[in-house]
Chain A
Amino acid sequence: MRLVAEGLSAKRGEDLIFRDVSFDIGAGEALVVKGPNGSGKSTLLRVVADLLPRESGKIRLAGGETQGFDSVAGACHYLGHRNAMKRELTVEENLRFWKAFFGDSRGGTGVAIDEAADAVGLGGILHLPFGYLSAGQQRRMAMAKLLVAWRPVWILDEPTAALDASAEAMFAGLVKAHLSRGGLALAATHQPLGLGAVSELQMGGFAAIFAEAWV
């Protein structure tokens, strides 16, 4: 399976944030989106996840195994800035809900909840309310959410922002394992993700479009 974007552009208010962004991610590949603050990384990711309307361009799944997906968004896991977990529920209740609600996409199965918690290094605290965890632990548990249900595409927006060095290495391992199962990843980040050699997409942002228009 491949995730293909052709000539994407998106607006925030009246201003174009980016223009003519194209990429093609194959199975087992990752694309890292880079650029300064405000360059449109998060906007691009939200456009790909169909959470923001796009001004022009196309996003589609191509290649084999695309049957069973009605939309691109349905094939994606999205890890945004917010963790999408309820503070009042325990970690286990949160993960159990998302596992049941997501369901597995075609082509893979998610791991059990305790396995997912072990994979992010927090096996023993499933019984605690999510609100009791530290910021770093909450982030790790949000990552465990990616593991409990299978989605071929992972869209990661600053995934390692609140994490220490060992957690970054752990997350790099998770992404690598996902890629080796034939998954795709699209990540926006400032820090190196530790994925080795991956393709990069440099975003210029509003300023770059503006400069281009004036030259």
Chain B
Amino acid sequence: MRWRQSRFPRLAGRRCRQADEVRLRSYARAWKDVGMTALLLRDLKLSVRAGGGAMIGVLFFMTVVAVIPFGVGPDLNLLARIGPAILWIGALLAALLGLDRLFQAEREDGSLDLLLMQETPLVLTVLVKCLAHWLATGLPLVLASPLLSLFMNMDVSAIGATMLTLLVGTPAITFIGAAGAAIAVALPRGGLLVSILVLPLAIPVLIFGVSAVYAAIQEPAPFLPPFLFLTALTLVFAVIGPVAAAAALRASTD
């Protein structure tokens, strides 16, 4: 067990500083390394090959948003008013859709063992996998949102604000979703569990995302405070998510 403990920083004394230095150096080495680029490219390739599921999220997003006008009816003012919220809810659910496969696919073919064994910090490996996942599934949602905004009769400023908030907010869903995916990695049907685990943590992202859009299109409310909160949430989850996911992956080996 000594091994395991030595991965975490000791709290006091010179050994702490030495350990931190060693860790920082290994982070820097890994970053310069071609290994992380290779991982990013591999995950991107996998996501566009058969069964990769990069398009599944966009299709789901499109389906959710496209059926709303049929359900709500042809009230254009109502559609414009609820549009940003509908887009955000659709994007949130679509972003959660493929998350459970993030580590499960690696575990099923044995790659996870090899990812865990390397001297490259596992947190960095997880972070790069998150980035690849966001590029493959989150970014397409952002790019599809202006088109889908037209379904909801939104004007130009609302479309711009929705796109900007989705761009800033969806990485947070991926990062915190990675932690959920790592916890559920060993479960055979972890898909729904991941969504249930992650959804409460993703609610603040939804709240600040939607309120930033409404602040941008409605006169008295200032846009910047909710938008900065959204940015802060993404940054916090970018730290917490990979650390929690790495810890969960270490604990899940069997």
Say if A and B assemble together: yes
* Chain A positions within 8 Å of B189 at CB level: none
Whether A52 is near chain B, meaning CB under 8 Å from some CB there, is yes
* Pair A71/B49 contact, Cβ less than 8 Å: no
Q: Which of B1, B42, B45, B117 makes the CB contact (< 8 A) with A73?
A: B117
Question: What separation, in Å, do the CA atoms of A81 and B113 have in the docked complex?
Answer: 11
Interface string of A45-66 (1 = CB under 8 A from B): 0100111111000000000000
* Pair A97/B119 contact, Cβ less than 8 Å: no
Q: How many A-B residue pairs have CB under 8 A?
A: 84
Whether A35 is near chain B, meaning CB under 8 Å from some CB there, is no
Q: Which of B30-38, B76-84, B142-150, B209-217 contacts A (4 or more CB under 8 A)?
A: B30-38
* Pair A86/B109 contact, Cβ less than 8 Å: yes
Interface residues in A64-85 (C-beta closer than 8 Å to B)? 69-71, 73-74, 76, 78, 80-85
Whether B70 is near chain A, meaning CB under 8 Å from some CB there, is no
Whether B254 is near chain A, meaning CB under 8 Å from some CB there, is yes
Interchain nearest-CB distance for B127 vs A (Å): 15
Q: Which of A88-96, A116-124, A179-187, A196-204 contacts B (4 or more CB under 8 A)?
A: A88-96
* Pair B35/A80 contact, Cβ less than 8 Å: no
Whether A214 is near chain B, meaning CB under 8 Å from some CB there, is no
Q: Which of B1, B51, B111 makes the CB contact (< 8 A) with A53?
A: B1
Question: What separation, in Å, do the CA atoms of A83 and B114 have in the docked complex?
Answer: 10
Q: Which of B26, B42, B49, B113 makes the CB contact (< 8 A) with A80?
A: B113
Interchain nearest-CB distance for B105 vs A (Å): 8
Whether B197 is near chain A, meaning CB under 8 Å from some CB there, is no
Overall SS of chain A's interface: loop
Interface string of B74-116 (1 = CB under 8 A from A): 0000000000000000000000000000000000111101101
Whether B4 is near chain A, meaning CB under 8 Å from some CB there, is yes
Instruction: Output the nearest chain A residue to B49 by Cβ-Cβ distance.
Output: A88
Interchain nearest-CB distance for B27 vs A (Å): 12
Whether A213 is near chain B, meaning CB under 8 Å from some CB there, is no
* Chain B positions within 8 Å of A46 at CB level: 253
Count of chain B residues with Cβ under 8 Å from any Cβ of A? 32
* Chain A positions within 8 Å of B34 at CB level: 100, 103
Interchain nearest-CB distance for B14 vs A (Å): 18
* Chain B positions within 8 Å of A98 at CB level: 114
Whether B160 is near chain A, meaning CB under 8 Å from some CB there, is no
* Chain B positions within 8 Å of A89 at CB level: 42, 45-46, 49
* Chain B positions within 8 Å of A85 at CB level: 109, 111
Interchain nearest-CB distance for B84 vs A (Å): 36
Whether B39 is near chain A, meaning CB under 8 Å from some CB there, is yes
* Chain A positions within 8 Å of B113 at CB level: 49, 51, 78, 80, 84
Interface residues in B11-41 (C-beta closer than 8 Å to A)? 22, 26, 33-35, 37-39, 41
Interchain nearest-CB distance for A90 vs B (Å): 10
Interchain nearest-CB distance for B7 vs A (Å): 9
Question: What separation, in Å, do the CA atoms of A49 and B232 have in the docked complex?
Answer: 38
Instruction: Output the nearest chain A residue to B7 by Cβ-Cβ distance.
Output: A71
Whether A206 is near chain B, meaning CB under 8 Å from some CB there, is no
Whether A23 is near chain B, meaning CB under 8 Å from some CB there, is no
* Pair A82/B45 contact, Cβ less than 8 Å: no
Interface string of A136-167 (1 = CB under 8 A from B): 00000000000000000000000000000000
* Chain B positions within 8 Å of A74 at CB level: 117-119
* Contact A71 to B109, CB < 8 A, known contacts A100-B38, A101-B118: no
Question: What separation, in Å, do the CA atoms of A162 and B119 have in the docked complex?
Answer: 30
* Contact A82 to B117, CB < 8 A, known contacts A51-B253, A93-B42: no
* Pair A100/B3 contact, Cβ less than 8 Å: no
* Chain A positions within 8 Å of B72 at CB level: none
Instruction: Output the nearest chain A residue to B110 by Cβ-Cβ distance.
Output: A82
Whether B140 is near chain A, meaning CB under 8 Å from some CB there, is no
* Pair B22/A70 contact, Cβ less than 8 Å: yes
Question: What separation, in Å, do the CA atoms of A121 and B133 have in the docked complex?
Answer: 35
* Chain A positions within 8 Å of B22 at CB level: 70
Q: Which of A54, A84, A97 makes the CB contact (< 8 A) with B42?
A: A97
A-B contacts, 24 listed (Cβ < 8 Å):
A50-B3, A51-B116, A54-B1, A69-B119, A70-B22, A70-B26, A73-B118, A74-B119, A76-B117, A82-B109, A82-B110, A85-B109, A87-B109, A88-B45, A88-B49, A88-B51, A89-B46, A93-B42, A100-B34, A100-B35, A100-B37, A100-B38, A101-B120, A102-B118
